[in-house]
Structure 1
Amino acid sequence: MPRTQKNDNFIDKSFTVMADLILKLLPTNQKAKEAFAYYRDGMSAQSEGEYAEALDNYREALKLEEDSQDRSFILYNMGLIHASNGEHEQALELYHQALESNPRLPQALNNIAVIYHYMGEKAKEAGDEDGGEALFDKAADYWIRAIRMAPNNYIEAQNWLKTTGRMQIDVFF
């Protein structure tokens, strides 16, 4: 049964009805409409923690979607799922693909930085001080790029950059 028929939540039902109306009214081709339907079902499944179903829907959406910006959001959401499952290398790959499709996606830059920061902490805990610092430097590079695009976001990252000496001045405020 399609996910559009399974939603019990009023908000999900409302979103589904609106999305269906938009799909019918949009002056776009059938392939794009199908891609959006898969994307919508993927988002719904993801919000319910049904990650395997969400990934299946996102993969189908990617097969159909031609718009690079829309593809970037599909790839980004797939990265979120892999990151939440602790599959950091796969998440990094998907975030980078999302950025190739849409270089102006600060949330992907932020998530890459978060993963590198986490990996840096793990490296330091394992006694690899230099490796940890190198990963922290990578995280800093990605956070700085994200902050340049969205200066009012990522306040914790800005504070970390300042306290670690990786950002010398308040160029973003």
Structure 2
Amino acid sequence: MPRSQRNDNFIDKTFTILADILTQILPTTKREREASIYYRDGMSAQSEGEYAEASRSYYKAMRLEIDSYDRSYIPHNVGLIHTSNGKHAKALEYYFQAPERNSFLPQAFNNMAVICHHRGEQAIQRGDLEISEAWFDQAAEYWRRAIALSPDNYAEAQNRPKITGRSSPSHGWERRNNITENV
């Protein structure tokens, strides 16, 4: 029995039942149904803090899911797991994949910004001001992208570029590979 069907949470059970009904009613392939089951199992395990099990389920879902929009949420969730485990470089790798598949994923941009900002603070503590500026510029760019996609969310992020003097960045999305090499 899939993990998502064993969940004791009323809301999760209700969601699972509705999702099962939809996958039976809508024209889906066996592969798409399996991907959906693995994805839900991953979400269930992740919500319970079972990150290793959640990762395994997400990786299985990623191998099966062919729809790029649906697939975009999988690397985002894997990124969340790596962030929770303090593996920020690995988390960034997965967060970068999400908007490549679905450009309307403000939470991925916000999470990338949070990590970049954290890396900037770490660089300051090491005394490397040039690297910290690059990280802070990158964080500002990602926050701007998140805010552009979802203007009513990320209130704190809306003020951060103003506070840090980064309201017009000199560095953009294309710098991500240069910065991640320094992680």
Specify the alignment match of 2:56 in structure 1.
56
- Structure 1 ranges of 4+ moved more than 4 A: none
2:89 equivalent to 1:96: no
How many Å separate the matches in 2 of 1:18 and 1:149?
28
SS at match of 1:66: coil
Q: Which moved more, 1:133-142 or 1:13-22?
A: 13-22
Deviation at 1:151, TM superposition (A): 1.4
- Which sits farther off after the overlay, 87-96 or 140-149? 140-149
Checking the alignment, whether the CA contact within 8 Å between 2:4 and 2:37 is kept in structure 1 is no
Q: What does 1:20-99 correspond to in 2, within 5 Å?
A: 20-99=20-99
Superposed displacement of residue 4, structure 1: 3.2
Q: Flag structure 1 segments of 5+ consecutive residues without an equivalent.
A: 169-173
| Residue 9 of structure 1, CA deviation | 2.0
Matched residue, 2:160 = 160
RMSD of aligned Cα (Å)? 1.3
Q: TM-score, normalised by structure 1?
A: 0.92
User: Larger deviation: 127-136 or 59-68?
Assistant: 127-136
Indicate the residue corresponding to 1:18 in structure 2.
18
Range with greater deviation from structure 2 (99-108 or 110-119)? 99-108
SS of the residue 1:143 aligns to: helix
Distance 1:127 1:56 in 2: 39
Counterpart-to-counterpart distance in 1, 2:78 and 2:42: 9
Give the equivalent residue in structure 2 for 1:128.
128
Whole-angstrom CA distance in 2 between matches of 1:96 and 1:159:
23
Identity %: 60
Asked if 1 retains the 8 angstrom alpha-carbon contact of 2:62 and 2:71, the reply is: yes
How far is 1:140 from its partner?
Answer: 0.7
Structure 1, residues 151-173: CA drift from partner, whole Å, max 9, x if none? 111111111111122127xxxxx
Distance change >3 Å, CA 137–CA 4, structure 1 → 2: closer
Aligned length: 168
Cα distance between partner residues in 2 of 1:165 and 1:129: 15
Instruction: Structure 2 unaligned segments of length 5 or more: list them.
Output: 169-183
